[in-house]
Amino acid sequence: MLFFVVTRTKLKDVEPIIKIVEVDGQDLVKDYSDEIERMLGSKMKSVMRLAESAEDSDLYHEFNATLKFDYYNSMMINTADEDGNYVDLGGEFPLEENEHFNKLPVNTQMSNIQVPTNVYNKDPNILNAIYNTEALNDVFIGNFQKDPTLTWQYFGSSTGFFRIYPGIKWTPDSNGVVAFDCRNRNWYIQAATSPKDIIIMVDISGSMKGLKMTIAKHTINTILDTLGENDFVNVIAYTDYVRYVEPCFRGTLVQADLDNREHFKVLVEELHVKGEAKIKNAMKESFKILNEVSGSMCNQAIMLITDGAMEDFQSVFEEFNWPERRVRVFTYLIGREMTFAQNTKWIACNNKGYYTHISTLADVQENVMEYLHVLSRPMVINHDHDIIWTEAYMDTVAQSLLLMTSVAMPVFSKKKETLSHGILLGVVGSDIPLMEVMKLAPRYMLGAHGYAFLINNNGYILSHPDLRPLYKDGKKLKPKPNYNSVDLSEVEWEDTDELLRTAMVKGETGTLSLNIRASVDKGKRPLYLTNEYFYTNIDNTPFSFGMALTKGHGKLMFMGNVSVEEGEVSHNCPQSGFLRTYCETDIDPAHRKYSQLQAAIRYLLGKEPDLECDEVLLSQTLFDAVVTAPLEAYWNTLMLNDRVEPGVETAFLGTRSGLMRVVRYAGVETRVAKKFLTPADKDNLFTIDHFPLWYRLAVENTPGKFYYYPVNDKGLIEHAFFLSQFKLSFLFSRVSLFDYQAMCKTGHHHASSARPLCFCVSVRFLLDFNLCGLWHSDYFVDAHKQKKLDALQPCDTAYPGFMYDPSVREANSLNKCGRCQKMFVVQQIPDSNLVLVVTQAYCDCSLFLNICEHNATVKCNRMRSQKVRRRPQSCHAYHPKENAKDCGGAAAISLSLSLFSASLLISLVAEF
């Protein structure tokens, strides 16, 4: 108890300088959102400068078919041949490791070029476009100097190359292939086209067997890769009847988020050829869906994948699409035969689409990309520079597992002679780590259970403390298949009426109060809390910012004014630690040598006025340092006088500001909990985005009682008892918890089981006030322990937690276990969270069950459901000056009756 007396005494000494401040959620959410808005606005300005420079360069450039131009190819740089000479398109390219760019070797004075393996790196179109964008180098550097928080800046060309700043060494895969194609990235696709509704029609008749079907499947997957969460899609296979690839999606369109796209890909692989192709009914079905279902409410297109079109299908277009031609039709002729090319071209050219012939797998990528250029024409002709923001994704360039968002803008040709063709030159963009965005809403201001979060116009999470985008596959962490399509309603699941989600998706500003069942310690410990939610939109973006403050915690803050000298002296001890980010030392390279403590002191003393520091946090930390300073002297006195209680290894204290004081009474060799409170023990340390687990649990403890928090060497709660051994239901109340981000074993791919609701029943538990079964599937299932056939897939789980009833002081009972019986006594240990259980050692009643019952309709209902979403503000689906004659075929194509008859005769002869 002397521990607390010392602290109270010092607190009383500084009482005259203490000020208690109430945290106002509405003011705070406005301040934080304004900061985020300013930050993102700065990134948009950088991208706009890039777009302007790229368009101006193209305006004054004359195409040169014989241009000879050497550039730095990111895969070739610093590579020598056998004679020691630099290889072609290589050359010396200085690289230096840079902490700001994930410690990758980069060149901040120059950009370089990445070219996919399937694109010829000396094609005249490539060389002219690369030469044309050399002017971007100065803009890249200028942007970085204006805003040192910028990360990657880039230009993705419609010809396929990718200019990236700072320049890097690009590493191919193990086969020497560079598969990355910027035109497949969401930032490129979303900037190049408006939202779209797509029906993919694939011919699975007998003539499509073998290589043709392989090419067709690859074409479908490539089209799916060009879609994003603002698009809607369905896939129809046809022979002499119409078959939905996913029967659950009959007659509708589903959002083309990552989860749904991957689901379609799995089903497409299961397609088999048979029968005779009848295109007419499938085409009618596609038009009906597009006419009746509200999807993106912008561009609409049918993608026809076939080896030939033989029917009289003109009547279908007359009934559903002419004369407005509101639905574009793109045709992909598969295989080497050209017998039906004329009819296939006619379909595309008379429906404002584009015809391509795909004879090999290598042809797929470039031919699929043509449809994006067609859809971009109205926007290009109108010169509408829409700025887009992407959903969350993993950083591909740095090959890290950090979540990012990108801001991008299309680049058009301004040349008058090509205006009606609507030529898209490419897309410029920049990446923003979402962690950097959320630093603008520091967690310490929100209290132990408070947090901030960010969602987009579709309700998908960009940042939230309960978002778990990774799972463990053996010893490696991997992104979950649906990591960037986790809806707000799947983490804030107590919002059953989706009032919070709907208001935020619509971009509204407001507040909402909810009683929630939260869980901590990786889902093992339930807590009953009341959250006050504050939310608002981020102007000029599709994002909405939210914040949760928990009643009873974090509402009031101690503020004290102490001198820098007093705070530093009180804190001048190697066992103490600054464990949050107090100053941004990464922006200026000259500041990177400072620790957080050094940077803070230099800033407060006026030696580094250019440092960006959180003055409120620094003030709080200095105050905490002064108030808690006597504790270390007390702890050290105990150690010097040999008055430390036997078994005590560590004394520690933490404050809201993130200040930690730690004294070790035992060496690392003799400590039982060797990892506890070390840098590797992330769960138990203060970080920029969370409070330690023991801190969060302690604030829920009844004042005046001790909270015991047992840990083992892994920093996890130890467990020793089984509920099956003791009938303890009278001590614990069951709490139902839900996890919509779990990973479960499943052997099938269809909607009925691809994402089941899994009711997990287990009888293993921990004796503590806040208990939950260790069966929480996302945490205890390792992929490497499963059979290869039983891959882990996303699933929704319901699982029980248990909370102790403190009103029960003592109880005893008899437990029958088959042929034996076990007596036990349970007694609460006063003024603590411990429960003592005494039992007989013999008669083993242990049991561990893990039973999952799959609900066959959950996946279908979830994927079909259309939640409230905010559609992008702009739509460019039509322009009267568009040159629709550029359709991949002849300028004017009419349906040839003689060719049609000949084609039909050939088909009939082939059948007999």
- Per-residue pLDDT tens over the stretch 282-297: 999 999 999 999 899 9
Q: What is the pLDDT of residue 338?
A: 86
Residue 376 reports pLDDT greater than 90: yes
Q: What is the pLDDT of residue 322?
A: 94
Residue 853 reports pLDDT greater than 90: no
Mean pLDDT of 254-283: 92
Would you place residue 771 in the very low, low, confident or very high pLDDT band (cuts 50, 70, 90)?
very low
Q: What is the pLDDT of residue 349?
A: 95
Q: What is the pLDDT of residue 360?
A: 95
Distance of alpha carbon 143 from the chain centroid: 26
Of the candidates 269, 267, 278, the one whose C-alpha atom is nearest the C-alpha of residue 306 is 278
Would you place residue 775 in the very low, low, confident or very high pLDDT band (cuts 50, 70, 90)?
very low
Q: Is the peptide bond before 323 cis (omega within 30 degrees of 0)?
A: yes
Contact assessment for residue 254 and residue 233, using Cβ atoms and an 8 Å cutoff: yes
Ramachandran area for residue 351 (φ above 0: left; ψ -120 to 50: alpha; else beta) = alpha
pLDDT digits (tens, 9 = 90+) for 736-746: 888 888 888 76
Of the candidates 744, 835, 846, 851, the one whose C-alpha atom is nearest the C-alpha of residue 796 is 744
Q: What is the pLDDT of residue 721?
A: 41
Q: What is the pLDDT of residue 377?
A: 93
Would you place residue 747 in the very low, low, confident or very high pLDDT band (cuts 50, 70, 90)?
low
How many CB atoms lie under 10 A from the CB of residue 396? 12
What are the structure tokens assigned to 73, written together?
A: 């190819």
Q: What is the pLDDT of residue 800?
A: 80
Least confident of 8-17, 269-278, 300-309, 597-606: 8-17
Would you place residue 725 in the very low, low, confident or very high pLDDT band (cuts 50, 70, 90)?
very low
Would you place residue 849 in the very low, low, confident or very high pLDDT band (cuts 50, 70, 90)?
very low
Contact assessment for residue 547 and residue 452, using Cβ atoms and an 8 Å cutoff: yes
Residue 458 reports pLDDT greater than 90: yes
Least confident of 306-320, 348-362, 375-389: 306-320
Q: What is the pLDDT of residue 629?
A: 83
Q: Check residues 767 and 791 and name the one with the higher pLDDT.
A: 791
Beta bridge partners of 853: 759
Least confident of 181-195, 446-460, 737-751: 737-751
Mean pLDDT of 424-453: 93
Q: What is the pLDDT of residue 425?
A: 95
Mean pLDDT of 296-315: 90
Q: Is the peptide bond before 166 cis (omega within 30 degrees of 0)?
A: yes
Residue 847 reports pLDDT greater than 80: no
Of the candidates 617, 560, 608, 554, the one whose C-alpha atom is nearest the C-alpha of residue 585 is 608
Order of strands, edge to edge, in the sheet holding 451-455?
A: 461-463, 451-455, 544-550, 525-537, 510-520
Q: What is the pLDDT of residue 394?
A: 87
Q: What is the pLDDT of residue 52?
A: 96
Separation of first and last alpha carbons in the chain:
98
Residue 777 reports pLDDT greater than 50: no
Q: What is the pLDDT of residue 715?
A: 37
Q: Check residues 403 and 10 and name the one with the higher pLDDT.
A: 403
Distance of alpha carbon 462 from the chain centroid: 6
Among 121-130, 517-526, 646-655, 709-718, top mean pLDDT goes to 121-130
* Percent of the chain whose predicted confidence (pLDDT) is above 70: 84
Of the candidates 282, 393, 396, the one whose C-alpha atom is nearest the C-alpha of residue 347 is 282
Would you place residue 862 in the very low, low, confident or very high pLDDT band (cuts 50, 70, 90)?
low
Task: Show the domains of the chain with their CATH numbers.
Answer: 2-14+562-671 (no CATH), 43-189+386-434 (3.30.450.20), 195-385+882-911 (3.40.50.410), 448-554 (3.30.450), 723-863 (no CATH)
Mean pLDDT of 138-155: 95
How many CB atoms lie under 10 A from the CB of residue 454? 24
- What are the CA-CA distances from residue 57 to residues 129, 130, 418 (Å)? 10, 11, 16
Mean pLDDT of 859-873: 78
Residue 192 reports pLDDT greater than 90: yes
Mean pLDDT for all residues in the chain: 83
Distance of alpha carbon 491 from the chain centroid: 14
The CA distance from 697 to 491, in Å, is: 20
User: Residue 186: which H helix or E strand, with range?
Assistant: helix 186-192
**For 80, which DSSP code?**
B
Distance of alpha carbon 908 from the chain centroid: 52
Q: Collect all residues with Cβ–Cβ distance below 8 Å to 435 and sequence separation of at least 6.
A: 402, 403, 463, 688, 689
pLDDT digits (tens, 9 = 90+) for 656-701: 888 888 888 888 888 888 888 888 888 888 887 788 888 888 888 8
Would you place residue 733 in the very low, low, confident or very high pLDDT band (cuts 50, 70, 90)?
confident
The CA distance from 214 to 221, in Å, is: 11
Q: What is the pLDDT of residue 50?
A: 98
For Cα atoms 891, 896, 899, give the angle at the middle one, nearest 5 degrees: 120
Mean pLDDT of 897-911: 39
pLDDT digits (tens, 9 = 90+) for 483-528: 888 999 999 989 999 999 999 999 999 999 999 988 887 777 788 8
Amino acid letter, residue 92: E
User: Residue 798: which H helix or E strand, with range?
Assistant: strand 792-804
Mean pLDDT of 340-346: 91
Q: What is the pLDDT of residue 255?
A: 92
Mean pLDDT of 375-391: 92
The CA distance from 700 to 806, in Å, is: 14
Contact assessment for residue 784 and residue 743, using Cβ atoms and an 8 Å cutoff: no
Q: Check residues 51 and 574 and name the one with the higher pLDDT.
A: 51
Mean pLDDT of 308-323: 87
The CA distance from 41 to 392, in Å, is: 18
Mean pLDDT of 375-400: 86
Q: What is the pLDDT of residue 788?
A: 46
What are the structure tokens assigned to 24, written together?
A: 């106002």
pLDDT digits (tens, 9 = 90+) for 241-259: 999 999 999 999 999 988 8
Would you place residue 636 in the very low, low, confident or very high pLDDT band (cuts 50, 70, 90)?
confident
Q: What is the pLDDT of residue 826?
A: 82
Number of H helices, E strands in the chain: 21, 39
Q: What is the pLDDT of residue 456?
A: 96
Of the candidates 777, 782, 745, 789, the one whose C-alpha atom is nearest the C-alpha of residue 473 is 782
Would you place residue 901 in the very low, low, confident or very high pLDDT band (cuts 50, 70, 90)?
very low
Order of strands, edge to edge, in the sheet holding 650-654?
A: 576-578, 659-664, 650-654
How many CB atoms lie under 10 A from the CB of residue 57? 18
